[in-house]
Structure 1
């Protein structure tokens, strides 16, 4: 008896659940956004996704959902007109940003809309199911079993059962007829969308949307074809250049380290004086104007001899591919990937400024570069002043290791670095989160702690380190302030201790990866890092001695130049560097700069030696005059 009762109750629960689910799914609706527009979406049984753009026409694509589920999208006007806001220009720029955000990553908008529909369908299903179960329970309690017996007796009468079946079929026929009835097709297929492929390849368009695609779509396609052809040929030329090169992976013979000639003095490399109100350009970094530091003690001579000899381990080389300042040149992704494969890179080092302004829309820039790179080669990035926390999150999402002030180990290398302490962006403005001195101290502390040393205080290395202020200091305390604190002797002792430790040999963090070389110059004074790799200036500097180590600055890998945005075929030559590094002895062995020309030619530079690490602090001159035509 109880078995039949249980089966009966479960059947009732199941049947009411199916009815509730069907009603919930086929009546779901939600309001979401399509760029700056409000859009009302609702499910139906047409098995078509139809986007109604009002006077602009419509767009239809086959529904990927199970038959017969379809979706109707009614796009409304932009909620606020220009006359309803205080600042029309600001409102319009916000609309443009909303359009850009949607079309840069439409999948996110579609996923949000689908989630809203699912949530509404779930709410409707639960509500209808609950009401049906309550109605059944009330009926059972009220009838006390009599209703069930009455129904059985009625169904035994002649003609009642067929009538009940006919009624049920009639109820089901209404939605089924709507699903089975062939709807007249509106609009026509678009050759432009078909060639682009993707989810809109089978779309049918009508109205002004169709006219716009006919008028401008072909032009856009032609530009896309040219762009794809340019970078595909560039990648092909990378393969050809490596195939013809006599020393594709490393110099045939080990290169002797360069011992710089002693100099009476060197011009220090001061920081840039940047105007917070200046127009922002992704290439303005290359034109920073240094300020002179008048301190006579700020330019020690480079060491004329290498560090004291020590027992060397058998070399254990690792290949690094260095890119920097790509500034959202998405076409370079496959080229970087081909360079990584041909050079057999073990690690890709990105010195920052992967985007133009660090906005969320620019996730497509990171995605496209990441797609072009080999999946098995780790990428380490130190974000630049044109990147942001949004950029860091996007890079982490694609699997890159984003440096955040600590020391990490990748492929047997120890790497330290951090995001830039500033933000320079058209969309997000100019901000400074920390001074260069403060930013350098964070990285210095991490590097020195990793090798068991005590980092010198910022003041200890300030005289030998470039600064943003004319006095060569980050703050107004100066020498008098330090003397008043009574810490000047301790600071000098810390600096001397760092020099002694650096001379001991190989107890250093292998690589400092920082976008800003002026911040890096402070870190290199500590002697806790052997090699600094930076970008920011859009021109090559080095390799040359810096602090108690060696510095190398990469030129733009995206062909960024002043006054232009690196979108489309290269408008200026791009540069990528391959570095061979001995991780057993913690020294760089050789580098070669690869030029990717506007004429699609690829030039593999000669292998070059690195200078030895100095035994006395050196302040490198990073000026254009010191490194012309680089």
Structure 2
């Protein structure tokens, strides 16, 4: 016990400085927005973005403890046109929560890793001292202590060994905790100026008040590009911000679920349009939804640079249960893994229960000509539909089948082994249609593009074409109705009428009610006739 406290002190003295040094010198390669970037922690209380020698650096204050900040060196991208790149970055910057969350998670990861490594180094030092303490023994320690107290009686050899040991120990601590190498060099001493002071006409953008640009030739030469990006940023903020503000106005038109019912929001074909995510999340909250159903094509190419699209959904829908399939534009494996990391239950051909609803589905086996997995088709959608139909009929309790292409759902609908088939892909609404299959009645429904995609890419400062989400109401795990919500290119929201879903259960219910009415009518007629007969017999 006497040794425990000194050992804890030694562990802290070694591990804390070591962890801080490792954290300060750590970095990670991360895809942010459309760029491969290098993220490293700083202690200057700012988030600083370095776009290279031709554009000014940008920084903004960070409200974090211990003046923690971050340096982000923005690297390569797959975009060849500089104007297109700036426009894309501006739209992503208008909805930055997903990317900010990703940077924060990496910083936390670096902090945890550094703390563990520092704790490990401290533990090694502590163990070495503890082992040395016990190996030396009490008598030898007493002898050493007497020699230390009476240095004059020690021999030169003993003094030399003791001094060398102390020097090596101090040197080891210094090598671990003190930075080595020269300070980073800079070709010019740059200052910082607020964006409104550098670029006229941006003073009305409140978010720019805290952002500064480095001064120098890069700033002066990049002003034109920056002005264009800021204009796109402004338009995106205004358009999608106004739509989000309009959501409470249309809330009265949305059919709210009863206490025994569950509401889901169906989205599809976002194609990177992260501007719609906070709008859809606002509608989901107003509608009292519990579940997000994603029918695929969240990206345009399925490449890692489109991680920003999945990051945005993770932040926007973090309070909801989530189920998804990947579309043909998501082919390549990356999107499915990113969806799983973002908390989505990605369907893979087997029934699963999410939010009390039994789902079946699978990602699109095809790849578009743009996708990262192009040329790696894993089967036809017709064969996939047949396989899912067999599974649904064998399970006998699948409520909803989720696929990307409506063609995949055709064999399932013909089987009649599920209540509802949801899909996307066509970028327009189709249905709801009722199909009487071999085993029962199935409703098929195709949602329009949630991202307002004209083709494969929807990211922009405004909707390129009308967009749509659909509210799906469930009761006891079975679908009972659909209600589309449409967005026009002017940013207005239109809520369609609620449409009931025809299922075997509802048919049986209608039949039971009809039979009940018939029985009541017959009973009434019998009572009336019986009374007449009784009266006749008495006469």
**TM-score when scaled to structure 1?**
0.56
Shift of 1:570: 0.5
1:191 aligns with 2:194: yes
Shift of 1:340: 2.0
Comparing 559-568 with 136-145, greater Cα deviation is found at 136-145
1:22 aligns with 2:38: no
SS of the residue 2:328 aligns to: coil
1:594 aligns with 2:485: yes
Say which of 372, 376, 380 aligns to 2:316.
372
1:408 aligns with 2:352: yes
Other-structure match for 2:361: 417
Asked if the contact 1:580–1:588 (Cα under 8 Å) also holds between the matched residues in 2, the reply is: yes
Other-structure match for 2:388: 443
Say which of 380, 383, 407 aligns to 1:518.
407
Q: What CA distance in whole angstroms lies between the structure 2 residues aligned with 1:550 and 1:323?
A: 18
Alpha-carbon distance change, 206 to 575 in structure 1, aligned in 2, over 3 angstroms: same
Q: What CA distance in whole angstroms lies between the structure 1 residues aligned with 2:451 and 2:404?
A: 15
Comparing 557-566 with 209-218, greater Cα deviation is found at 209-218
Alpha-carbon distance change, 426 to 537 in structure 1, aligned in 2, over 3 angstroms: same
1:228 aligns with 2:240: no
Q: What CA distance in whole angstroms lies between the structure 1 residues aligned with 2:13 and 2:457?
A: 60
Q: What CA distance in whole angstroms lies between the structure 1 residues aligned with 2:69 and 2:454?
A: 48
Shift of 1:63: 9.5
Q: What CA distance in whole angstroms lies between the structure 1 residues aligned with 2:125 and 2:221?
A: 45
Write out per-residue CA displacement over residues 306-327 of structure 1, whole angstroms, 9 at most, x where no aligned residue. xxxxxxxxx9765443221111
Asked if the contact 1:324–1:353 (Cα under 8 Å) also holds between the matched residues in 2, the reply is: yes
Shift of 1:561: 0.5
SS of the residue 1:529 aligns to: coil
Alpha-carbon distance change, 611 to 40 in structure 1, aligned in 2, over 3 angstroms: closer
Other-structure match for 2:444: 551
SS of the residue 1:543 aligns to: strand
1:240 aligns with 2:243: no
SS of the residue 1:567 aligns to: coil
Say which of 480, 494, 499 aligns to 1:603.
494
More helix by share: 2
Q: What CA distance in whole angstroms lies between the structure 2 residues aligned with 1:191 and 1:412?
A: 52
Comparing 533-542 with 574-583, greater Cα deviation is found at 574-583
Say which of 337, 350, 362 aligns to 1:393.
337
Other-structure match for 1:148: 145
Q: What CA distance in whole angstroms lies between the structure 1 residues aligned with 2:44 and 2:473?
A: 61
Shift of 1:525: 1.9
Alpha-carbon distance change, 433 to 547 in structure 1, aligned in 2, over 3 angstroms: farther
Matches within 5 A, 1:555-574: 555-562=448-455, 564-574=457-467
Say which of 255, 269, 273 aligns to 1:249.
255
Aligned residues: 448
Other-structure match for 2:425: 536
Q: What CA distance in whole angstroms lies between the structure 2 residues aligned with 1:54 and 1:511?
A: 50
Alpha-carbon distance change, 390 to 152 in structure 1, aligned in 2, over 3 angstroms: same
1:338 aligns with 2:282: yes
Matches within 5 A, 1:149-548: 149-153=146-150, 187-192=190-195, 205=214, 216-243=225-252, 245=253, 248-249=254-255, 318-373=262-317, 375=319, 377-388=320-331, 389-424=333-368, 425-451=370-396, 509-546=398-435, 548=437
Matches within 5 A, 1:28-107: 29=25, 33=29, 105-107=102-104
Shift of 1:390: 2.9
Comparing 601-610 with 206-215, greater Cα deviation is found at 206-215
Shift of 1:239: 2.5
Asked if the contact 1:414–1:511 (Cα under 8 Å) also holds between the matched residues in 2, the reply is: yes
**Unmatched runs of 5 consecutive residues or more in structure 1:** 79-88, 156-167, 179-185, 252-314, 452-507, 614-630
Asked if the contact 1:359–1:427 (Cα under 8 Å) also holds between the matched residues in 2, the reply is: yes
Q: What CA distance in whole angstroms lies between the structure 1 residues aligned with 2:21 and 2:50?
A: 19
Write out per-residue CA displacement over residues 62-95 of structure 1, whole angstroms, 9 at most, x where no aligned residue. 8999869999x898999xxxxxxxxxx99999xx
Asked if the contact 1:443–1:523 (Cα under 8 Å) also holds between the matched residues in 2, the reply is: yes
SS of the residue 1:423 aligns to: coil
Shift of 1:444: 1.9
SS of the residue 2:484 aligns to: strand
Say which of 468, 471, 480 aligns to 1:578.
471
Q: What CA distance in whole angstroms lies between the structure 2 residues aligned with 1:391 and 1:77?
A: 22
Q: What CA distance in whole angstroms lies between the structure 1 residues aligned with 2:374 and 2:398?
A: 34
Q: Which has the higher contact order (CA 8 A, sep 6+)?
A: 1
**Unmatched runs of 5 consecutive residues or more in structure 2:** 153-166, 180-188, 198-204, 505-539
Q: What root-mean-square deviation, in Å, do the aligned CA atoms of Structure 1 and Structure 2 show?
A: 5.5
Q: What CA distance in whole angstroms lies between the structure 2 residues aligned with 1:579 and 1:12?
A: 62
Shift of 1:414: 2.9
Shift of 1:536: 0.9
**TM-score when scaled to structure 2?**
0.64
